[in-house]
Amino acid sequence: MVDLTPTQIGGLEKKVDELDPSIQQINVAEANIVDRCESCHMGIREPVKLTPAVMMPKGAKAPDDYAKAFVSHPNPSLLLVHDPEKFGCSPCHQGNGRATTSIEKAHGNYEHWLWPLYTKQNLEAGCQTCHAADMMLISGDVGWTISKGKDLFRQRGCMGCHRYEGYDKEPEELQSLNQQTKSLETEKLDNTKQSAYLMKQADAAESNDEANRLNDQAVGLRVSNSKIDGRLQQIDFRAHSLMQDMKKIGPNLKDARLKLNKNWIPVWLKKPTDFRPGTKMPNFRLNDAQIRAISAYVWQSALTDSLPHQKPGNADHGKELFETRGCLACHSIGEGEDQQGGTFAANLSRVGEKANYDYLVRWIHNARERTRPYCPYEKKDIGPEDYAKKKLPYVFDLGHSKCPNDGHELQVQNMTVMPSLRLSVEDAQDIATYLLSQKKQEPSAYADASYMDDPKLKEEGKKWVRHYGCGGCHEIAGMEEEGRIGTELTFEGSKPIERLDFALFTESAQRGGKEPITNSEDLARLPEGPAKEPWYDHKGFFEHKLAEPDIYDKGKVKSETEALRMPNVHLTKDQVQALTTFLLGSQESGLPANYQYKPQDTRRDIQEGWWLVTKYNCVGCHQFFPGQDSVLVKMKKYQDPDWKEQLPPKLYTEGARVNPEWLRRFLTNPALSDTDTNRNGVRSYLKVRMPTFSFSDDELRKLVRFFQALSQQPIPYVPEQVPTLTAKETEMARALFSSTAAPCLKCHATGDAAHDAHATAPNFLLAKDRLKPDWVERWITDPQAISPGTSMPSGLFNRVNDHWVFAGPTPPSFQGYDQDHTKLLVDYIFQLSPEEQKRVAASMGRSTASNKNPSGKKSVTGGVRPQVPKGATSGGSH
């Protein structure tokens, strides 16, 4: 506390003098909150940081209970948005807020209290109770654990077996739409029959009045059918979007015969981590008979269509592309200390042992390309024979997604989040050739598995595939409509402890002192190590279940179908802690609805956007807020100052930077071209490729609104009108634009191939459609405030007499000009034509930039940073 000011010290002394040791109570009648926590935790709202070490009595070797209690809140900023006078303490932390007779009772650590205080390790569980609709809850140092747990629940495939409100909603909605479709079509058929019957009755009517009455009824039914047609069309539109959004955590096993080494499959099923230590595929503890049967079903039920033969590629070029195009933002390569890349997708170190080359080329070129479309209405894969019956070409994609048999929407894409990098076929062949070289043994070294062709094994395998819920993570023929096999976990943290089956360990969990997990690998997953104290609570149950999922079967005699099915997801102890925190907070809250964080304004746009950003791993390449590092930022390659120029842009203020209509077009087609697609549309100089994600219209809308809301931009966006410059103003602005003190075209792309090979910033010709003028003006005055570390120079303009004035030399024409130089330059940029840019480039005497940087070291891009006016500064990464 040595850094306290005299005022702060005086304030503390006054509070000590006025200290009232009586019971302190918060009473919020509308939420039924009565908390007396601050009777002991008296310093919790202090703005001064009070820690146990600070409050420790003089001479003491360690803080006592009083010192631990008399501390300030570790994150006082949270109290600004969670006022204790409204929220109390126990809704976030649990415990018995009314109890004052003992620490044990106040913290809820006794038999008859259902909500014990969250431990320090799971403190963020309380966030989930009100913020279940949020995927990202990070604020400063808070929210990292619960956000990780929420993301793990999706990325580790938990939602494939367990329903959880908010996760993987598309299959349920699609099923509902199919039911509506069948109901409406039945109603339409009945109406048609009834209408025909009424018309027939009208023809035979004895009077005109009777005939008119029957005719009106028939016409009414035809009008009803017209309305039904409109409703069916809307259902098809929605189904089209849903099927575009639907994703599976695992690969499409209908293609098993096309893409996999047959003999590899049983080895993989035996124990996936033996082949790939960091895989998301869990260990199901299968016996040899089950492995043989499941392998046979997967193999025999798969499609047998032929693949185009691909010519061999260049492995060296493939390696270069793989390491620079952005593949490592999701995938990793290498093992142990040599591993590099992300963990979002598979480690590809041994892919050469299992993959078929022809399929791998197709996958790399366009992972969304299906072998056959699937009709959820007919519940079958649609082949060329179905199209031939209707004399239609065998073409299916997002523009040709109607079933030839019934006219309903087809699933025309693989349900993978892997995007397209818009590579040429030759580049895809090169990468595939490189990846197939990644192996420890030859594919032929695997033991023969010809038993997989046995039809009897297929039927047995079908039973086990269904039993273990494989269809939850994989697309498998015959299992498309299978439901989840696990219990719903939306409110798992609210279950009474008696409903959590500790099985034969109930007594030892209550007593403590003996850890039931004996397997060393599983034991290492427990966040706090082997249990020494009693662990008969939700935390203990979840941690042991996640560390060793079959723990509660120990000591029991069960048949194969009775044994616990949850596989071992081989989590780390940090992951077990994160998922336990998530499950502990998964509670049915007793708080009023207005306490649940379900905003209806732009904050909801932020909520919905984060679900998509994490779904597609946008954080693998991009940084969305300070403190969040992308995968690429942390890679060794990008620590080199020259390679830092190759990092994808930070998106801190993307919504303030770009026109939302342009952003929608860009997210739809990042190449910004329908013909020249093997490139980046904005930053053509980057080796990392902005992929095409094939977002649905619904996802595009959410992402655009997310960026707008994240940057606190008004919705809808009203474009600023840029005034037309006079001839004199154009000449003045041109002087700024081409000044030797800050030559804009030195770094920015121009469309000239020789120059653009060394560029490090986008082409100005994109500015008019892409950027917002007000953002550009803020950017050129203080780029470091917008994107810390950017190589865009700072200090180009000075504030003089309430105006922004260029820091470098200006021609005589600027004398007497009393407007902002920044505004003049921005208006010029937004009116820049290709001809004007070409003239300026020619006048600067350059068509290419130097290929050396000031240090003399050759740059990755070959470009150099411009000399900046005296006093200006240039940052690091762009």
Judged by DSSP in three states, 101 sits in: coil
Q: Which residue has the higher pLDDT, 19 or 135?
A: 135
Other beta carbons within 10 Å of 743: 18
* Domains 602-710 and 727-843 in one fold: yes
Which of 72, 45, 71, 67 lies closest to 57 in space, CA to CA?
67
Average pLDDT over residues 256-281: 97
Cα(40)–Cα(798) distance, rounded to whole angstroms?
54
Is 9's pLDDT higher than 90? no
Q: What pLDDT is stored for residue 7 in this prediction?
A: 82
| Class of CATH domain 253-368+414-472 | mainly alpha
For the segment 733-768, what is each residue's pLDDT rounded down to a tens digit?
999 999 999 899 999 999 988 898 889 999 999 999
Q: What pLDDT is stored for residue 851 in this prediction?
A: 33
- Sequence spans of domains, the chain: 20-117, 170-245, 253-368+414-472, 492-584, 602-710, 727-843
Q: What pLDDT is stored for residue 246 in this prediction?
A: 96
Q: 602-710 adopts what CATH topology?
A: Cytochrome Bc1 Complex; Chain D, domain 2 (1.10.760)
Q: Can you tell me which residue has the tokens 């996999």?
A: 260
- Cis bond upstream, residue 716 (ω within 30): yes
Q: Are the beta carbons of 363 and 348 closer than 8 angstroms?
A: no
Judged by DSSP in three states, 798 sits in: strand
Cα(647)–Cα(639) distance, rounded to whole angstroms?
10
pTM for the predicted model, two decimal places:
0.92
Is 847's pLDDT higher than 60? no
For the segment 594-612, what is each residue's pLDDT rounded down to a tens digit?
999 999 999 999 999 999 9
For the segment 86-123, what is each residue's pLDDT rounded down to a tens digit?
999 999 999 999 999 999 999 999 888 889 999 999 99
CA angle 480, 482, 483 (to 5 degrees): 135
Q: What pLDDT is stored for residue 54 in this prediction?
A: 86
Q: Are the beta carbons of 371 and 258 closer than 8 angstroms?
A: yes
Is 468's pLDDT higher than 80? yes
Give the number of C-alpha atoms closer than 13 A to the C-alpha of residue 241, restricted to the C-beta side.
15
Cα(42)–Cα(20) distance, rounded to whole angstroms?
10
Cα(690)–Cα(683) distance, rounded to whole angstroms?
9
For the segment 204-221, what is each residue's pLDDT rounded down to a tens digit?
999 999 999 999 999 999
Tell me the residue type at 51.
T
| Class of CATH domain 727-843 | mainly alpha
Classify burial at 259, counting beta carbons within 10 Å of its beta carbon; exposed 0-12, middle 13-18, buried 19 or more: buried
Q: Are the beta carbons of 632 and 621 closer than 8 angstroms?
A: yes
Which of 371, 352, 262 lies closest to 308 in space, CA to CA?
371
Is 520's pLDDT higher than 70? yes
Cα(321)–Cα(327) distance, rounded to whole angstroms?
8
Which of 335, 342, 310 lies closest to 433 in space, CA to CA?
310
